[in-house]
Amino acid sequence: MNQASNSSTAPSRKFKKRHAIYILLAIIAAAIFFAYPGLKAQSQLGASYGAHIACSCRYVSGRDVNSCKGDFEDGMEMVSISDDPENKRVTASVPLLAKSVAQYRKGWGCQQLNETEMDAL
């Protein structure tokens, strides 16, 4: 009788464990779904700020682009920058979430490029 009760509870435990995993995955998926718009917006803001600051650092102040990351605010570790000296342009991005480009224009300083200008690059 002891073996019979053990064999009847084994599938029940497996079912409960599987059910708990599915619930946990659903909760994680819901959290990602609801957090994504805010995360994407924060990433775009960070990329835009990073592109503008790095462009000003590089082409207005004349510093090396590698020293420009030191001007970033705390919490911007995910923002990476790349320099295009030929076009006096700096691109900042947050992997998989956002990208922004700032370009130095004589007499105007560094300006953010809009979507149409970025698509034309």
pLDDT digits (tens, 9 = 90+) for 30-58: 888 888 888 899 999 999 999 999 999 99
- Position with higher pLDDT, 118 vs 49: 49
Percentage above 70 pLDDT, the chain: 91
Percentage above 90 pLDDT, the chain: 50
pLDDT digits (tens, 9 = 90+) for 1-37: 455 455 555 567 777 888 888 899 999 998 888 888 8
Of 42, 41, 44, which Cα lies nearest the Cα of 100?
44
- Between CA 30 and CA 34 the distance in angstroms is 6
Q: What is the reported pLDDT for 16?
A: 80
- Between CA 20 and CA 13 the distance in angstroms is 10
Please state the pTM of the whole predicted model: 0.72
Of 69, 56, 62, which Cα lies nearest the Cα of 110?
56
Q: What is the reported pLDDT for 119?
A: 78
Q: What is the reported pLDDT for 54?
A: 94
Residue whose tokens read 């924060």: 42
